[in-house]
Structures are given as C-alpha cells and as structure tokens.
C-alpha cells in the first residue's frame, strides 16, 4: 500500500500544477455552465477570461511574475465589461476557485522569484483581486500578501537547506581529504620508523663487516668479535622491527620503553661494535612521556648513524641533561678521522627531517648544525609534559 502511495506521489509531484489547473478549469467551466453564463456575449467573454485565469495555474512556477501580473489584468476586465463583476462574485463556487488560484499565484511569487522582483507581480495581482470585490475586503490581503510571505519563508528555508547541503558536501570532501592525509602521514611515519631501525643496524653491520674482512687474516679473534657484533646488530634490528609491528597492531605499545636509560643501552651496543662513543647522564632525566622517550631514542640512534656515515672514526659524545621543565639531549661528533665509510649513499636523505618532525610532535625544539671544530652537533629539548598547539622548531 505504501509503495503505491509513493509511486502515485512521484508521478503527481512534477505534474501538480497541471493537475491543479485542470481541476480548477473543469470546476470553473461546470460552475459557469450551470449558472448559464455562456449565454450572452458579455458574460461569455468574462467567462472565458475566468477560465484562462485559473488555467494559468499550470505555468505559475515557470513564470510566476508574468503569470501573476497577467492574472491581475484578467481580474480587472469587469471594470470594462458590463455585468462582468457578476461572473466573479455571483457564485460561491467560482469565488472559491478564483481565490484558490490567487493563493497559488501569490505563493509562487514568494517561493520561486526574488522578493524584490516578485513585487512586480504581487501589486497588479492585489489590485485585480481588490477590483473584483464590491467593497473593501480584508480577504484581499489574506489571499495575496499572506501566501506571498509564506512563499518567501519557504524560499528562505530552501536556500538555507541548499547551503547546509553544500556545507555537508564540503565537510565530506574535507573528511575524505583528511583521511587520505592521515593515511599518507601514517605511511610516512612507518617508513621513518623502519628507516631509523634498518639504517642504524645496516650501518653497524657494514662497519663491522669491513673491519672483520680486514682482520680475518691478521687477527682472527678480533675478526670473530666483529662478526659477533654483526649478529648482535641483526638481532637488535629484529627486536625493534618486532616491537614496531606490535605497536602498529595495537592501540598502545606492547613493550613500552623504560625511560631514557634505553639510550644508554643503545650507546653500549654501539661501543661494543667498535664505535668511539661516550654517554653522560646529568640531573634527573626521568619523567618524560613514552612518546618523548621514543623520540629521544630515535634521535640518538639517527645521530649515531649519521656520524658513522659522514664522520668515520670520529669520537661521539651523547649527553642527556635533565632540567626543571625539560630534558636536553645532545649528540656531538668530531671531524672524520678515517677514510670514507662507504655508507654515504645509504638512506633517503630524510634523517634530519625525521628527527625534527619527531621532536616537534612532542612539543620540543630541535637544532642541528656544524661545530667550530668541523664536527656536527644534534640537540633537542623535550618538555616533561606534552604541549598542545603551536610547536616551536629551531632550524
């Protein structure tokens, strides 16, 4: 039953004006015929004008101003045709049909044309309705101005609905763009994590492999230690990749870092692989968030990797200094003291960018640049509590 009603409504909705015009015209014709108003030439002319008046309902939405002005002109015909007024007001049925048509014309003026332009049609329509009445009648305002105001209100609501729909489409587009940007950001973050893990471990492996190759024939025991360091670097890379996988698979870290002392463990592994690196902890260095601890660890890891790549054989000093509101981390290496490491081509050249983004994401400041001794310094300051909003980043 509901489906039939819906089908009927879909068929009638676009044809509503034509159906209304047909009903009004047929009703007016029957009333005129019953009243014998087709008998004389004068009443015949007024009767035909009345039929045209109601038939114009079929085009009221397409040309609301023109139709309203023409309808007002038709209603003025009794002023020029004898006994014409009797045609319009002498029958209750005709009066009702005429008022219904006037209501529809006035409503279309308000709802389907600009309000200023609609006055061009409303004024002649009101004058025509007033001329068709024998004396002053407040009904004139009710069937003209009232529907016109209602049409203006509906048009206003329609515009608001269209604007809201446009805003909804914009929000949906922004949501899709935000989702795409989030995916891109997450991919970049994962790539950065893998870069930090793999680049550091591969650099250690390459350094130790080169050392082991040189020592194999001269000092087999030292060569064996180099190969042990290679195994340790590979195992550590496996552990960190596994941890990254666990982190990506859950909403929280499955094996959280245990404070900045993890930096000391990283330095110990680097020392065991033959790097000349020292680590100093000064002051209270605990109290950082897990995100800041992760960023600190990756900062030191990337700085050590860069030192191995670009300053082969240079001494490296890692300093972690706790202050009242933040923790400062500094990695300084001297100038290169050996031949090229062969690692310069490894990585994508985004190490400093990745470090800067990590530190900025924690609300800290980051700086990197050469030292006066032709070495390189990387430093960061991380707040003990995450800051939200604008993040200052030193360049």
Any idea which of 63-67, 94-98, 101-105, 375-379 has the lowest mean pLDDT?
94-98
CB 333 within 8 A of CB 307: yes
Distance CA 387, CA 363 (A): 5
What pLDDT, on the 0 to 100 scale, is given for residue 74? 85
With the C-alpha atoms ordered 252, 258, 264, 265, is the resulting torsion angle positive or negative? negative
Task: With a cut of 60, say whether residue 24 has pLDDT above it.
Answer: yes
Q: State the average pLDDT over residues 102-106.
A: 88
Backbone φ and ψ of 312, nearest 5°: -60, 130
| pLDDT-derived band at 144, boundaries 50, 70, 90 | confident
Any idea which of 6-10, 16-20, 312-316 has the lowest mean pLDDT?
6-10
Burial class (CB in 10 A: 0-12, 13-18, 19+), 338: exposed
Better-scored residue on pLDDT, 58 or 239: 58
CB 253 within 8 A of CB 246: yes
Q: State the average pLDDT over residues 335-355.
A: 64
All residues at 6 or more sequence positions from 368 whose CB lies less than 8 Å from its CB, including other chains: 352, 355, 356, 376, 377, 378, 379
Using DSSP's 3-state secondary structure scheme, residue 80 falls into coil
Note the pLDDT tens digit of each residue in 239-273.
666 666 665 665 444 445 567 878 888 888 778 76
Distance CA 296, CA 380 (A): 8
What is the number of residues in the chain?
A: 395
Note the pLDDT tens digit of each residue in 198-239.
666 666 666 666 666 665 666 666 666 666 666 666 666 666
List domains and CATH numbers for the chain: 13-137 (no CATH), 171-383 (3.30.565.10)
Contacts for 183-191: CB closer than 8 Å, 24+ residues apart: 190/244, 190/248
CB 192 within 8 A of CB 350: yes
Distance CA 392, CA 60 (A): 64
């Amino acid at each position: 039953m509901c489906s039939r009603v819906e089908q009927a409504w879909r068929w009638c909705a676009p044809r509503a004006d034509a159906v209304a015009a047909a009903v009004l015209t047929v009703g007016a014709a029957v009333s005129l015929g019953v009243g014998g108003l087709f008998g004389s030439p004068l009443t015949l002319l007024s009767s035909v004008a009345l039929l045209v008046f109601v038939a114009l309902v079929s085009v009221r939405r397409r040309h609301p101003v023109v139709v309203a002005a023409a309808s007002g002109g038709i209603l003025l015909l009794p002023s020029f045709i004898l006994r014409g007024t009797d045609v319009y007001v002498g029958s209750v049925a005709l009066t009702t049909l005429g008022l219904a048509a006037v209501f529809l014309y006035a409503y279309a003026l308000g709802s389907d044309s600009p309000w200023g332009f609609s006055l061009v049609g409303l004024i002649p329509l009101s004058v025509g309705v007033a001329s068709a009445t024998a004396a002053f009648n407040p009904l004139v305002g009710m069937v003209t101005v009232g529907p016109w105001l209602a049409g203006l209100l509906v048009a206003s609501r329609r515009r608001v609905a269209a604007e809201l729909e446009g805003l909804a489409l914009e929000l949906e587009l922004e949501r899709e763009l935000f989702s795409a940007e989030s995916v891109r950001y997450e991919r970049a973050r994962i790539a950065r994590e893998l870069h930090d893990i793999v680049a550091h471990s591969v650099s250690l492996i390459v350094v130790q492999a080169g050392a082991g190759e040189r020592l194999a024939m001269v000092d087999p025991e030292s060569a064996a230690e180099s190969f042990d360091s290679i195994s340790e670097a590979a195992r550590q890379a496996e552990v960190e990749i596994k941890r990254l996988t666990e982190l990506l698979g859950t909403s929280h870290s499955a094996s959280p870092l245990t404070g900045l002392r993890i930096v000391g463990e990283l330095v110990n592994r680097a020392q065991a692989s033959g790097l000349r690196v020292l680590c100093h902890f000064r002051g209270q260095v605990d109290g950082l968030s897990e995100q800041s601890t992760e960023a600190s660890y990756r900062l030191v890891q990337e700085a050590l990797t860069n030192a191995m790549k670009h300053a082969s054989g240079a001494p490296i000093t890692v300093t972690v200094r706790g202050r009242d509101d933040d923790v400062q981390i500094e990695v300084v290496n001297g100038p290169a003291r050996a031949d090229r490491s062969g690692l310069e081509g490894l990585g994508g050249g985004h190490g400093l960018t990745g470090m800067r983004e990590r530190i900025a994401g924690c609300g800290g400041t980051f700086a990197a640049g050469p030292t006066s001794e032709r070495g390189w310094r990387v430093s960061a300051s991380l707040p003990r509590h995450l800051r939200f909003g604008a993040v200052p980043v030193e360049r």
